[in-house]
Amino acid sequence: MSRKYIPKVVTANDLRLGDVVYLAADDGWTRLHSEAELIEDEAHAQLRLLHAAAQRNLVVGPYLADAKPGTNGPEPVHFREAFRTRGPSNYAHGKQVDLGKQVDLADV
C-alpha cells in the first residue's frame, strides 16, 4: 500500500537579499507562503523543483516543503516552515515590519 502524497510548496532563499521565497504558479517568486503554488502531485512537484533549481541567478537552496490547503492559500505543516514565514527572530525587521507582525517566540 502506497503512502498518500503530502502536498508541497517550493521554497528557497532570494539570492540577493536572503529572504525566504516561494515559487508561485505563474513561475514568479513571492515572499508570502499563502501565494505559493500548492503542488498536490509528486511528479509535478519534482518538475517544479527542477525549474526552481535552474534559476541560480535568482534563488539559492530550493527544496520542497510540506504544506496544506488553507483558507487563504497554502499553510506550512512543519514548525520550521512556519518559523521561516515569519522572518528573522532576533529583532523586528523585514517581513515582520512589512506584514505588521511582531514575533513572539512563545507563539512559535
Per-residue pLDDT at 23 = 98
Tell me the whole-structure pTM to 2 decimals: 0.80
Per-residue pLDDT at 17 = 87
Per-residue pLDDT at 86 = 81
Closest CA to 73 of 4, 12, 25: 25
Residue 89 has pLDDT above 90, yes or no: no
Give me the amino acid identity at 8. K
Which tens digits make up the pLDDT trace of 3-59?
Answer: 899 999 999 999 998 899 999 999 999 999 999 999 999 999 999 999 999 999 999
Radius of gyration of the chain from its Cα atoms, rounded to whole angstroms? 14
Closest CA to 85 of 69, 103, 70: 103
Q: How confident is the model at residue 104 (pLDDT cuts 50, 70, 90)?
A: very low
Per-residue pLDDT at 55 = 97
Per-residue pLDDT at 91 = 58
Task: Give the three cell numbers for residue 22.
Answer: 516561494
Residue 2 has pLDDT above 90, yes or no: no
Which contacts of 96-105 are long-range, i.e. CB under 8 A and separated by 24 or more positions?
none
Q: What are phi and psi of 61, to 5 degrees?
A: 70, 40
